[in-house]
Amino acid sequence: MEEIRTPIFEQTELFVRSVGEESDIVQKEMYTFEDKGGRSITLRPEGTAPIVRAFLENSFVNRGFQQRYYYIGPMFRYEKPQSGRLRQFHQVGFEIFGSESPGADLETILAVDNFLKRLGLTKYTIHLNSIGCPECRKNYREALREYYGKHLNDLCDDCKRRYETNILRLLDCKIDHELALNAPKSTDYLCEPCREHYEKLKDYLNEFEIKYVEDHTLVRGLDYYTRTVFEVRHEGLGAQNAIAGGGRYDGLFSDLGGGTVPALGFAGGIERIVLALKAEGIEVPRKNVHYIYVATIGEDAFKEGMKLAMELRKKGLNVDVDIMNRNLSGQLKHADRLGAKYVVIVGDEELEKGVVVLRNLETGDQVEIDKEFAIEYIFEKASKE
């Protein structure tokens, strides 16, 4: 899996064509500006469409399939700020390109579940639905039209508009939720290939003991989805309880001018995940992996310590040297605050003896190492932590 970084802003058109003209994101939530050249640009409200754009522009297709990418970065939505809902927030996301197989859906849901479990979270539920392909959705739309048509006068103003423009979104309206519960289910309208895909995914999830609830009101707020959609909700959060969401978007590549590339992925909201950790009383250990603090006493020792730090950095370790001229106990305290497990101590005495001291801050144990072997020895110890 590779990291992918896309620009913070894109041409507005990209999100209109992918997330959907009638979606809340495009209708109400985008930060859209004109640049000096009169082009309409938008701060990215989500990461999937930019990645597909980057794929198409850079002919990633030549890399062969399957392809897996992850990303971490800021997203922007002009929403009313409240707990768990920010105008600039961060997502960590994962996308798989090229596979139509339900095995890829399994892998995506396993990735979300594993990520949340490894953080220690337990009080979340995976909501799952299949909204089918454009073919089977035609019939489903008709069924919804008939159902909601009988209740038109009871709908909120937004839903009255959505009835005409984007009828699936009526299902996840918070105001008209009661009506949604009794609405026709998309899974009853799936064509044979979509039904088989959904059944296979559920079999896989059962086999892998991934708990989920089937939720036929789940349609997600972005229009590019096809077949599988899912959302992870945490019980310790208030109204903004979705900590991650995702699904399949088999039509997005062709909508954006590429060929047919089945694809899917998810994104988690980092700030909401942090709220969920707090709600469950989980403290994420602040462990600075492979981190070494070099404490020095005196000018000569500082130079020696800096040389040692440079050698250790060349080997890939994350190394800090005191540049605040603190006394030794101040340096050790600071190293502890930064989460260092090991401190290398270089003082006059050590210089004279041609050694350095390696102290394990967790146990208090320390050893004197001959300068000649210090790099290898420290690297061996620290890179295994």
Binding residues for ligand HAM (CB under 6 A): 46-48, 77, 79, 84-86, 89, 91, 93, 95, 221-222, 242-247, 265-269, 271-272
Which residue has the closest beta carbon to ligand HAM?
A: 269
b/e for 67-96, b at 16 or more Cβ within 10 A?
Answer: bbbebebebbbebeeeebbbeebbbbbbbb
Asked if residue 334 lies in contact with residue 325, where contact means CB atoms within 8 angstroms, the answer is no
Kindly state the smallest distance separating residue 261's Cβ from ligand HAM, in Å. Answer: 13
Kindly state the smallest distance separating residue 226's Cβ from ligand HAM, in Å. Answer: 11
State which residue, 86 or 374, has the beta carbon closest to ligand HAM.
Answer: 86
Kindly state the smallest distance separating residue 375's Cβ from ligand HAM, in Å. Answer: 43
Pair type for strands 318-321 and 342-346: unpaired
Kindly state the smallest distance separating residue 106's Cβ from ligand HAM, in Å. Answer: 15
DSSP letter for each residue of 179-218: HHHTSPPGGGG--HHHHHHHHHHHHHHHHTT---EE-TT-
State which residue, 111 or 159, has the beta carbon closest to ligand HAM.
Answer: 111
State which residue, 104 or 346, has the beta carbon closest to ligand HAM.
Answer: 104
State which residue, 280 or 385, has the beta carbon closest to ligand HAM.
Answer: 280
Give the annotated binding-site residues for L-histidine.
Answer: 46-48, 77, 91, 95, 220, 224-225
Kindly state the smallest distance separating residue 249's Cβ from ligand HAM, in Å. Answer: 6
Token code pair at residue 31? 């930060």
How far is Cα 49 from Cα 61, in angstroms, rounded to an integer? 16
DSSP letter for each residue of 68-107: EEEEEEEEE-----BTTB-SEEEEEEEEEES--SHHHHHH
Sign (positive or negative) of CA dihedral 315, 318, 323, 328: negative
User: In terms of residues, how long is the chain?
Assistant: 385
Give the annotated binding-site residues.
Answer: 46-48, 77, 91, 95, 220, 224-225
State which residue, 78 or 302, has the beta carbon closest to ligand HAM.
Answer: 78
